[in-house]
């Protein structure tokens, strides 16, 4: 251990020497700074580096004291060889991946299939983004202007083809840097460990409570020195940034606010820091406003005409390559769509996903300006690019696991044998599994008005194992948000609007306490980032089906049914999807004929009167399309273009939809199976005095019709209720609704 500490000290001194030597090469910066300013910043750099080393030593010692490091590597490897993957084994594999070294057996297997499972990220970004340029200006104290490629928070160097891919763990979760200089394989906190306090909220949560006061005092001393320097040089971006960083690490939000009150540096940087402080204080609305002011200033100052493509790092590899290849105008449009679609709730002001992204970038600008900080290696040759991208995609790890000095030493030897620079400590980056992924699929980003609810997979599906779920991006979101279950939607045409209704049975989950009603339930329509309209607004009563009814005027849109929590930490629910509306009656020709999609309603008892008034029908529509066989149902639809008393043929057909196999068709042809055994057809001719109908006053004759349904004789399966209307002149129109019949 003393040898390792000596080696770390030598490397730290060498890094400081390089930074100090770089000062002399920056003639322009030296001309602007007084000699005492350069000396002060060099002194601050030494103090910060010394604090990083102290924090790391305390953290490593505490993990050893708590016996959280791997102590028997041989036993662990034997367990993995026999398929006994413990939580220690999961962490060991993640560390191996991050170290870029596998060992002899794993290396041989990887060499046999060097392409298998490789999820190499695309790094051929055409130009720095606004945030990247902003970060590039925040150079370490007294150094020359950094190499633009080396200073970016996301990797930008092209990836050379070919080996040595064999040195990379075959993992779909891997985030890669360039030239195989580093990679990160993040994972969930393993089962059986228990969820630790989130270290992403405060770095000192990684330390035992007993040693935190020592670190706080050491940080206070550093803060005092930084504050003195900031008073002398209020326009120095690096000094004010590091001062705010360490104040927040000490949970001193008030002190950070006071620091920013006198921030005289670059306006974009001061606003970004202000957003970071406000976000840390839980003031998400003001934080977003500050971040957006910083971004607006970047548009006028450094980013030019293209979009801030740092958001494209949140996309999977293929879509990311496509996004970077778009012309500037389309990149700007894609960036706007991305944040619009990633907003958790349109009914609640603000966009937490955008705020979280800017918070990650700003924190990266503060922490990754050094080769190493408290426990992470940020240099490019140590996998710094992969680590930056990991933070951009997933945020700061909930927990960082270190395997101990013995594992570090063995991995160093392995890297040396393949001419890879040792970069301990080697760690596993772990995240709490209660994360939310808010970006939709690439198809939804390309054509949002045609999106389907499944384009958003907000949380892990209950049918999927945790180890099988790893989205391209995720974040911790309070409150938690769930997708509303499938329900039923009705669309009835009127002269200039559409009468829309949605119903969902048993829609909410995760509510605790004595909850009776949820106000503020809204059905919203949006065609773009700056276009949002409320279609319906209601109050939901717990235990009853959720129903919203409203009028919509407009073309294709994105609908979002949202049930926000009543208090800040109460769970929320939503269902978002594209809507292609049928034409209103004013848009139809005078001689047109159309039929609405049938609406399925429940009856209280068999033999009850069937509702025929459209508003009554919508108030009683079923909130599901899956029914038990003994459920009494009603079917309602409207025809457009046939008046009450006109001659027309009506057919209501029930056709099975899940029994269309080639074998059955073959059997039906030869008479061994009845191809229509699950189909029923009812026909009548109007006018028919025995059947109820209601006329609705519109420019084109509109008539509502309804009948009771008895599905008790149907075998379980999926069926379509098909309504066909044929006018006297032979014009024909039809519509259908699918349901599921359960035992």
List the beta strands (DSSP E) in 186-303.
187-188
Question: Is pLDDT above 50 for 167?
Answer: no
> In CATH terms, are 479-587 and 594-742 the same topology?
yes
Report the alpha-carbon distance of residue 339 to residue 342 in Å, rounded. 5
User: What top-level class would CATH report for the domain 594-742?
Assistant: mainly beta
Question: Is pLDDT above 60 for 28?
Answer: no
Write down the pLDDT at residue 503: 96
List all residues 6 or more positions away from 168 whose beta carbon is below 8 Å from its beta carbon.
Answer: 97, 100, 110, 118, 174, 176, 180, 183
- Of the pLDDT bands very low, low, confident and very high (cuts 50, 70, 90), residue 11 is very low
Domain boundaries, the chain: 2-431, 479-587, 594-742
Question: Is pLDDT above 50 for 673?
Answer: no
Write down the pLDDT at residue 480: 87
Question: Is pLDDT above 60 for 164?
Answer: no
pLDDT tens, 366-403? 998 899 999 999 988 888 889 999 999 999 999 999 99
Could you tell me the pTM of the whole model? Answer: 0.83
- Of the pLDDT bands very low, low, confident and very high (cuts 50, 70, 90), residue 195 is confident
597-605 mean pLDDT:
94
Write down the pLDDT at residue 557: 97
Among the ranges 26-35, 67-76, 136-145, 498-507, which has the highest mean pLDDT value?
Answer: 498-507
Among the ranges 132-146, 288-302, 476-490, which has the highest mean pLDDT value?
Answer: 476-490
Between residues 698 and 110, the one the model is more confident about: 698
Domain at 479-587: CATH code: 2.60.40.10
Write down the pLDDT at residue 475: 96
59-88 mean pLDDT:
88
Instruction: Identify the burial level of 511 via C-beta atoms within 10 angstroms of its C-beta, where 0-12 means exposed, 13-18 middle and 19 or more buried.
Output: middle
Q: Alpha helices, DSSP H only, in 66-205? A: 73-81, 87-99, 104-112, 130-136, 148-151
Instruction: Identify the burial level of 15 via C-beta atoms within 10 angstroms of its C-beta, where 0-12 means exposed, 13-18 middle and 19 or more buried.
Output: middle
CA dihedral 287, 289, 290, 291 (to 10 degrees): 90
Question: Is pLDDT above 60 for 458?
Answer: yes
Q: Per the structure block, which two tokens stand in for 685?
A: 């001719």
Question: Is pLDDT above 90 for 679?
Answer: no
Question: Is pLDDT above 90 for 483?
Answer: yes
Write down the pLDDT at residue 37: 72
pLDDT tens, 607-624? 888 999 999 999 999 999
pLDDT tens, 466-481? 888 999 999 999 888 9
266-285 mean pLDDT:
94
Question: In angstroms, how far apart are the furthest CA atoms of the chain?
Answer: 101
Question: Is pLDDT above 50 for 702?
Answer: yes
Question: Is pLDDT above 80 for 310?
Answer: yes
What is the β-pairing status of strands 626-628 and 187-188?
unpaired
């Amino acid at each position: 251990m003393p040898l390792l500490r000596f080696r770390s000290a030598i490397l730290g001194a060498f890094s400081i020497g390089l930074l100090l030597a770089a000062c002399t090469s920056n003639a322009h910066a030296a001309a602007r700074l007084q000699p005492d300013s350069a000396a002060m910043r060099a002194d601050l750099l030494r103090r910060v580096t010394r604090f990083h080393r102290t924090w790391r030593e305390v953290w490593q010692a505490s993990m050893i004291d708590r016996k959280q490091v791997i102590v028997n590597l041989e036993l662990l490897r034997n367990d993995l060889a026999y398929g006994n993957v413990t939580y220690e084994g999961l962490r060991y594999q993640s560390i191996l991946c991050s170290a870029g070294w596998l060992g002899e057996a794993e290396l041989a297997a990887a060499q046999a299939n060097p392409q298998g499972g490789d999820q190499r990220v695309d790094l051929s970004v055409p130009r720095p983004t606004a945030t990247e340029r902003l970060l590039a200006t925040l150079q370490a104290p007294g150094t020359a202007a950094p190499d633009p490629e080396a200073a970016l928070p996301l990797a930008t160097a092209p990836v050379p083809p070919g080996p040595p891919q064999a040195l990379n763990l075959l993992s779909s979760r891997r985030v890669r840097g360039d030239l195989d200089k580093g990679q990160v394989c993040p994972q969930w906190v393993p089962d059986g460990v228990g969820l630790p306090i989130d270290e992403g909220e405060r770095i000192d949560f990684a330390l035992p409570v007993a040693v935190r006061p020592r670190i706080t005092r050491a940080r206070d001393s550093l803060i005092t020195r930084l504050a003195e320097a900031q008073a002398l040089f209020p326009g120095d971006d690096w000094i004010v940034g590091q001062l705010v960083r360490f104040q927040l690490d000490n949970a001193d939000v008030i002190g950070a606010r006071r620091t920013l009150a006198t921030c005289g540096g670059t306006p974009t940087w001061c606003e970004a820091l202000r957003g970071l402080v406000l976000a840390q204080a839980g003031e998400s609305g003001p934080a977003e406003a500050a971040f957006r002011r910083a971004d607006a200033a970047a548009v006028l100052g450094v980013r030019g005409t293209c979009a801030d493509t740092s958001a494209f790092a949140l996309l999977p590899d293929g879509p990311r390559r496509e996004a970077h290849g778009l012309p500037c105008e389309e990149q700007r449009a894609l960036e706007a769509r991305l944040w619009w679609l990633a907003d958790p709730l349109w009914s609640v002001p603000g966009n937490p996903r955008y705020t979280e992204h800017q918070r990650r970038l700003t924190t990266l600008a503060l922490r990754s300006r050094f080769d190493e900080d408290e426990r992470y290696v940020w240099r490019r040759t140590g996998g710094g690019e992969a680590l930056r991208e990991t933070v951009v995609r997933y945020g700061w790890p909930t927990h960082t696991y270190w395997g101990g000095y013995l594992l570090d030493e063995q991995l160093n030897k392995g890297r040396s044998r393949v001419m890879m620079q040792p970069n301990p400590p080697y760690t596993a980056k772990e995240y709490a599994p209660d994360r939310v992924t808010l970006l939709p699929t690439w198809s939804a980003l390309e054509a949002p008005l045609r999106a389907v609810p499944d384009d958003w997979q907000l949380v892990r599906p209950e049918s999927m194992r945790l180890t099988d779920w790893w989205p391209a991006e995720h974040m911790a979101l309070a409150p938690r948000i769930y997708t509303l279950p499938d329900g039923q939607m009705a669309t009835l045409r009127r002269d200039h609007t559409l009468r829309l209704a949605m119903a969902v049975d048993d829609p909410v989950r995760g509510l605790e306490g004595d909850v009776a009603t949820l106000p503020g339930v809204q059905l919203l329509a949006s065609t773009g980032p700056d276009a949002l309209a409320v279609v319906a607004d209601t109050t939901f009563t717990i235990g009853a089906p959720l129903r919203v009814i409203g009028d919509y005027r407009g073309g294709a849109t994105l609908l979002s049914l949202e049930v926000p929590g009543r208090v800040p930490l109460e769970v929320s629910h939503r269902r978002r999807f594209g809507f292609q509306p049928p034409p209103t009656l004013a848009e139809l020709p005078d001689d047109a004929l159309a039929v609405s999609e049938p609406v399925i309603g429940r009856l209280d008892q068999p033999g009850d009167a069937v509702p025929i008034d459209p508003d009554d029908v919508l108030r009683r529509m079923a909130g599901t399309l899956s029914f038990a066989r003994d459920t009494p149902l009603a079917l309602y639809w409207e025809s457009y273009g046939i008046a009450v008393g006109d001659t027309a043929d009506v057919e209501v057909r029930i056709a099975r939809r899940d029994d269309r196999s080639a074998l059955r068709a073959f059997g039906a042809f030869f008479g061994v199976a009845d191809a229509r055994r699950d189909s029923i057809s009812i026909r009548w001719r109007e006018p028919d005095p025995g059947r109820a109908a209601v006329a609705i006053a519109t420019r084109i004759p509109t008539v509502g019709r309804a009948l009771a349904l008895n599905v008790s004789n149907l075998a379980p399966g999926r069926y379509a209720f098909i309504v066909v209307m044929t006018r006297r002149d032979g014009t024909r129109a039809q519509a259908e609704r699918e349901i599921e019949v359960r035992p």
